A and B are shown apart, each in its own frame.
Chain A
Amino acid sequence: MSIVSNLLLITLAGVVLNVLFYKSKTVQKYLSLLLFTALAYFSFTMYGQVGLHFDFPFLIAGQSIGFTITYLNYYFTIMITGITLLLVIFSLKYMEGKEGSTHYYTVLFLKTFGMLGVVLSSDIITFFVFWEIMSWSTFALMSTGGNEAPKSAFKYFVFAITASMILMVGVVLSYSLFGSFDFNIIRSGIPSLTLPMTGFLLTIFITAFAIESAVFPVHSWLPNGYSNTFTTFTAYLSGISTRIGIYGIILFLFGIFGMETVDKLSIIGKINFRYVLGVFAAITMVVPTFTALYQHDAKKLIAWHSIGQGGYMLIGLASGSALGIAGGMLHILNYLTYQVLIVFAIASVQYRTGTTNLNKLGGLIKKMPVSFLALLFGIIGLAGLPPMNVFVSKWFIYRALILEGYPFLAIAAVIGTLGTILSVYKLIHNMFLGQLPERYNDIKEVGFSMQLPMWILMIVVFGLGVFPGFAMGLIAKIQVSLGLAAVPYSLHGVTAEGGQLNMLVVNVLFVSGMFVTWIIYLLGSRRKHVGQYNNYAGGHFLNKDVAYNFNYEFYAAMEHVIDPYRKKIIERTERGIVGLTDAVSEYVRRIYTGMINTYAIYVLTAFVITIILLKELI
């Protein structure tokens, strides 16, 4: 038994057993915990087996297909299994008594099965099959929980089908070009293609992955799809599921096509394929981040950010330098940790208060300090400020963009970061700060099993901020295995030739600065804590009947500034896309006349063409 089959069989067993025990939620719960622990254990031990192959016992079109372990897919596998384990621990308590959760663990296992298959596959046909399983289970995940969920899941379904069809074209095309499904054979065949053909094939694959990772013009399925489902699924979907698209982009851009081939696809001068990708990434960073400002629902706000943060990964990869690619890859891990942390904090608040509406919450810091701390760590991460881990990956990306001479892509990254700071402050302020409504007076902090995953993630978010070298070791190995230059990293940042970043120094200075301030603070007389009604109100007396809070339309002035741009540019673009789709669909629709005679002619024509083609081949 190889380790890959262990992983896949465990997840498959999880699916089957959860279906069998659908009546007992307790059995489902602990069974899933056990299986996911085993899964995480096996995936971590995979490190020693890089390079191993595992083939299916049957052939397809005379070729063996199966799985392989590389540094790249090891990186993704541990992310998938690690986060799923934390998610299951969190769900033990969270999912208690939730309606419509009979198949919660079943779809979770199915989704994990699909994702593991995609990242571990060594050939394009396995990749495609598991991609389909993954898309279908994403649809299943999205359509559970809430009345709105099936509708928004259907929207995803349309996009996912499109992506699958595009991917299918890619699979068939590459088989007809290279006569093989194997990634290695395709890789060695790529340089012999003509440039237009290379460009076409690459565009096909990247488009399919861009839909899955919600790059700007094809992102619209994500916000509702992710926010209408269970909050734990929001964490899972936005944390790792969307990033499988980025895995595809890394695999095809660097692993299969290779940087040299991609860089030959130049339009004029510096405007090449990577640059076009970078421009899409830049729009993806800016537009969804500012859309997040408008949201009144915590889950929806964070769902918009999961689109925006994908832009950072993509722009890092598109920068093409060792530093930028390392930044893009590191950002996937960093993003996963803080995004899941944030959604867990939101889920905790929802668990206690029953709402995620930002206009109805407030002041919960007094009641739920651990969740506040979790959200605080998460938002410092999301905003990309020191001392958290994300600052490192964003620093890599900014520096790479500046040194590679992409000032406008760099400024897009900065604009995205500023928009993020604005919207995350709104998130934490409206939930935890400000006035505590009377109805939340007897709320308690969530239990240990929900706190534990948050504490673990907080330690990771902070720890990887001080010691990014732990993750960088693996990233550098991935870069070497993909034939790229490795980033000159050290345990605390980068070495002198890579630039000036030492997170340990930053953190030591920061902590000692806080210590000095603490001494200054102690020099003054003792402070006294007062309640929230002991407050300046211009001479009025405050009590529980006086609403004295500011959280509705938190950034009204900003919305005034952005609105014209939004109306002019974004809405027009969207209308344009809708119009184009309408027009195309109108023509496609005409094919389906509804008359049996026409269909018979179609079938006949297809048959004739197939025979002619087959004759040519033989």
Chain B
Amino acid sequence: MNTVLWIIFLPIILFVIGTFMLGYSRKFIARIERRYGPPIQQVFYDVFKLMSKKTNISHGWMHDIAMLVLLGGTLATLYFVPVPGFSYFAQYGDMLVIMYILLVPALGMALGVGETANPNGSIGISRALMMLAGYDIPFVLTFIGFGMLNHTTSMYDLMMIQQAGGFTSWGLISNPLLGIAALIALQGMIGEKPFEVMVAPHEIATGPMTEMGGKFLGIMMIQHAISLVVELTLYINLFLGGAMNWFEYIIKLFVLFTVLISVNAVFGRFRTDDAVRFMWKIPLPMAVIGILFIIF
């Protein structure tokens, strides 16, 4: 019974947290830039506004199905990521499943954008995929190292090991090189500056979103909010010892997110090749050295 309730309400809870975090980030950046900024619930308004638009333009059936794959894949992913009080599905899919099921929404999205036949969209997808190759290699390598150290690929087990060992066994403290490498990769994963070249509103008209409007953009915003929380939770579970209760969890989410958007606020945008090169030259060798420390 409890599990059923969790299954129903978990996506809604994560969506609410995600939209507040996005609103918080807009406010936070506005204050740094000495603007007043929109109200913190603005993202909510945006989603409801977009979902109730009368005109919805689509370019074909793949464009429609892409929306289902996009949000559906994200909804499937979030159950495999353990959150405080709910880890029922962790027994059916480990970290590797999460890493690869996370890519399914991206692929669905890419196919939908491709069908819109807008080169801005295609350029955006091409950049997003190149960025994926940039950040995913160091991120997965940190997880591989961590999993090898503890001889498991289950995220739940990794979280439990850290909770049993207390503060000093947190991934970030015990393996700082892996932790920092993953943090940099995470910045690319959530697509904040300096790694937001796939959106780049000033040059490619927001890339993948160019031909998206109305409920299509609304679903994309819902997905963005949820996947943001899921990706941050990945890092919390792997390197910040997970969370015992929801209070700790939300605190950790907001602290981690504040660190990331502070970087976002002060950086410009890297060119795609520079971003990929950066990912392969800074976090990747860090992760490799971290793993060498584990082996020897």
Contacts and interface: CB of A to CB of B under 8 A. Distances in A.
Contacts of B291: 407-408
Given A365-B60, A402-B153, A527-B215, 20 more contacts: A385-B104, A386-B97, A399-B96, A411-B141, A414-B136, A414-B141, A421-B129, A429-B114, A506-B101, A514-B72, A517-B68, A521-B219, A523-B215, A525-B214, A525-B215, A536-B211, A554-B126, A557-B276, A558-B273, A558-B276
Given A384-B100, A415-B137, A513 B73 contact: yes
Interface stretch (A143-151, A444-452, A543-551, A599-607): A543-551
B93 A506 contact: yes
A534 B116 CA distance: 10
Interface in A480-499: 496, 499
B130 A555 contact: yes
Interface string A260-290: 0000000000000000000000000000000
B71 A398 contact: no
Interface range on chain A (Cβ under 8 Å from partner): 35 or more
Interface in B86-106: 89-94, 96-97, 100-101, 103-104
18 contacts: A383-B107, A385-B104, A386-B101, A391-B100, A403-B153, A407-B291, A411-B144, A433-B111, A501-B93, A512-B75, A513-B76, A516-B71, A518-B68, A521-B219, A524-B218, A525-B54, A527-B215, A528-B56
Given A386-B104, A524-B218, A528-B58, A500 B117 contact: no
A509 B89 contact: yes
B42 interface: no
B136 A500 contact: no
Interface in A375-425: 376, 380, 383-386, 391, 394-395, 398-399, 402-403, 405, 407-408, 410-411, 414-415, 418-419, 421-422, 425
A436 B60 CA distance: 13
Interface in B39-64: 51-62, 64
A502 B277 contact: no
A548 B210 CA distance: 14
Contacts of B273: 557-558, 560-561
Contacts of B140: 411, 414
A10 to B, nearest CB: 42
A382 to B, nearest CB: 12
A527 B57 contact: yes
A98 interface: no
Most buried by A among B68, B110, B120, B218: B68
Contact of A501 (B97, B111, B117, B144): B97
A529 B117 contact: no
Contact of B115 (A365, A506, A524, A549): A365
Contacts, number: 249
A500 B97 CA distance: 9
Most buried by A among B70, B79, B92, B222: B92
A49 interface: no
B153 A434 contact: no
A520 to B, nearest CB: 6
A526 B216 CA distance: 11
A425 B107 contact: yes
A496 B56 CA distance: 46
Contacts of A380: 107
A87 to B, nearest CB: 28
Contacts of A505: 89, 92-93
B122 interface: yes
Contacts of A187: none
Interface of B: 11, 51-62, 64, 67-76, 79, 89-94, 96-97, 100-101, 103-104, 107, 110-111, 114-120, 122-123, 125-127, 129-130, 132-133, 136-137, 140-141, 144-145, 147-148, 151-154, 205, 210-211, 214-216, 218-219, 222, 271-273, 276-277, 280, 288, 291, 295
Contacts of A517: 67-68, 70-72, 75, 219
A506 B98 CA distance: 10
Nearest to A522: B215
A291 B93 CA distance: 32
B97 A524 contact: no
A496 to B, nearest CB: 7
Contact of B117 (A372, A418, A549): A549
A323 to B, nearest CB: 11
Most buried by B among A380, A383, A511, A557: A557
A516 to B, nearest CB: 6
A535 B144 contact: no
Nearest to A516: B75
Contact of A524 (B61, B93, B122, B214): B214
Given A414-B136, A517-B219, A549-B117, A509 B144 contact: no
